[in-house]
Amino acid sequence: MIRDKKFVVIVICSLVATLFSISIAYASLQSTLVTTLSQMSQEAMTWDIAFVTGTITGQAVVNNSGNISCGTATATATTISGIAPTLSDVGDKCAYTFTIRNDGTIGGEISSISITDPSGLTCAKTGSTMVCGDITYKLHYDSASSTTLVAVNDTIDPKVGNTATTRTVVLTVEYTGSTAAEDDFTQSGFSYTILYAQH
């Protein structure tokens, strides 16, 4: 009987030793993977929507009078000034092409378009079109003949990499009366204000 007990004890000790050696073997099968972050940068969002600066040469798109002058205008980052066409006959039209650019990382959306009447006149306005007597003013995209007019909710995408996003806009001023002008007249003081908000 005593011999049997000793045998049992020896067997249990041997079993424990075997399990311990197996656990050590499994524990040694490990892989340690380390990812090291060398640098993390955060760039600030930027807002930079403006006109492309320079001289804008007016183009006579239609010259029915044979006597039309479109002149030149000057664009700064926030204003275009000096637009002063001379029109005489039905259909005479001058066009001024300028560029709006977004050099920021935030897209823009037109939230409002305000048009100021020429001095002393009350004009009809719809979107970016204004009719003042025999003269019609319009803001087109891309070309003077485009039927796509600048409108509220239009967007301009943010720059791509280091390249600014642009939109070409054309202001047309057209004599839309039914007969040729018999008397000299002048319209001055009109303006467009386009307000961009974050898109």
Tens-digit pLDDT profile for residues 37-52: 888 888 889 999 999 9
Domains for the chain: give ranges and CATH numbers. Answer: 49-198 (2.60.40)
- State whether residue 10 is helix, strand or coil: helix
So what's the pLDDT on residue 53?
A: 97
Distances (CA, A) of 135 to 4, 131, 186: 121, 6, 10
So what's the pLDDT on residue 14?
A: 52
- The bridge status of strand 129-132 relative to strand 191-198 is unpaired
Longest dimension (CA), the chain: 139
- Nearest alpha-carbon partner for 176 in 192, 161, 188, 187: 187
Residue for token pair 């047309």? 172
Count the Cβ atoms, other than its own, within 10 Å of residue 92.
27
- Nearest alpha-carbon partner for 82 in 93, 91, 70, 72: 72
So what's the pLDDT on residue 42?
A: 81
So what's the pLDDT on residue 13?
A: 46
pTM as predicted: 0.79
Residue ranges in the chain whose pLDDT is less than 70: 1-28
So what's the pLDDT on residue 49?
A: 97
